[in-house]
Amino acid sequence: MDDATVHTLPEMLALVLLDPGTGRFVVDHQRTERALAGAVLLDLAARGRLETDGYRQPRLRLVAGTGTDVVADRATGLPTGWFRAKRGVTRLVPGLRGAVLTALVHDGHVEREPGGFLRFARWWPDTALRDILLAGVAAALRDGVATDARIAGLVSLLHAVRAEHRVLEGRRRELRDRARVVADGDWAGPAVTAAVREVQAAAAAVTAAAAVAGSGS
């Protein structure tokens, strides 16, 4: 089995973020949602379905296209006309996590364990496929470059939500520094850069809010 059997970047990201030991995501619900939304924008950009207005902080616009996967389906929820990446991420979040997991279950890449009284559902990823994806991420961090744009996008999103050390073994600071090199590479166009920055900003806001709540408890 190889990563070609995973059709979209949000599905790749969900597989990597699912902990095979717990059946849960390794980062909190809000960061997971925003990372998946960013992955949809990155995937659309890779397909040539996002254009930008060329400014330093670009606006995005969806270009017409076809498709039957989860990315093409969720793209219909994006604003019409020009929009900022922040608005795009916000519009994509509702229902996205469930849609991605449903797609993975349908394709046999994740097994769902139903929840029950006082117990959440758990999602068990295909560990062989997850290991292949993580090997690509690890190679990119080791070499400081990703030859596959999808792996580069995966690294960038993991970096945006501070999840490198949660999915790979190694020193946290070293993993983040290496991921930053890949994320800051010249592989990304303005639409991708805007999407990643928005995920970073959203993740930072969630972390700050959690810190404030913790200090007040």
pLDDT score, position 2: 45
Mean pLDDT computed over 91-107: 95
Q: How confident is the model at residue 96 (pLDDT cuts 50, 70, 90)?
A: very high
In a domain, 214, yes or no: no
Q: What is the pTM of this model?
A: 0.90
Whole-number Å distance between alpha carbons of 159 and 178: 9
Angle at 180 between CA 55 and CA 165, to 5 degrees: 135
For residue 112, CA distances in Å to 10, 108, 115, 122 come to 18, 10, 9, 6
Residue 1 has pLDDT above 60, yes or no: no
CATH number reported for the structural domain that contains residue 131 in this entry: 1.10.3630.10
Residue 81: inside a domain, yes or no? Answer: yes
- Tens digit of each residue's pLDDT (9 = 90 or more) over 41-81: 999 999 999 999 877 788 999 998 888 899 999 999 999 99
Residues 98-106 have a mean pLDDT of 95
24 lies in some domain: yes
Contact 179, 199 (CB under 8 A): no
DSSP assignment of 119-136, as one string? B--EEEE-HHHHHHHHHH
The total number of structural domains in the chain stands at 1
Q: Give the pLDDT confidence score for residue 113 in this predicted structure.
A: 92
Q: What is the largest CA-CA distance in the chain?
A: 52
In a domain, residue 69? The reply is: yes
Cα 112 to chain centroid, rounded: 20
Domain annotation covers residue 211: no
Domain assignment present for residue 216? The answer is no
Range of the domain at 192: 3-206
Q: Does any domain span residue 198?
A: yes
DSSP string covering 14-37: HHHHB-TTTSSBSS-HHHHHHHHH
- Tell me whether residue 196 is in a domain: yes
Q: Residue with structure tokens 């983040």?
A: 176
- Using one digit for the tens of pLDDT, what is the confidence trace for 113-148? 987 766 788 999 999 999 999 999 999 999 888 878
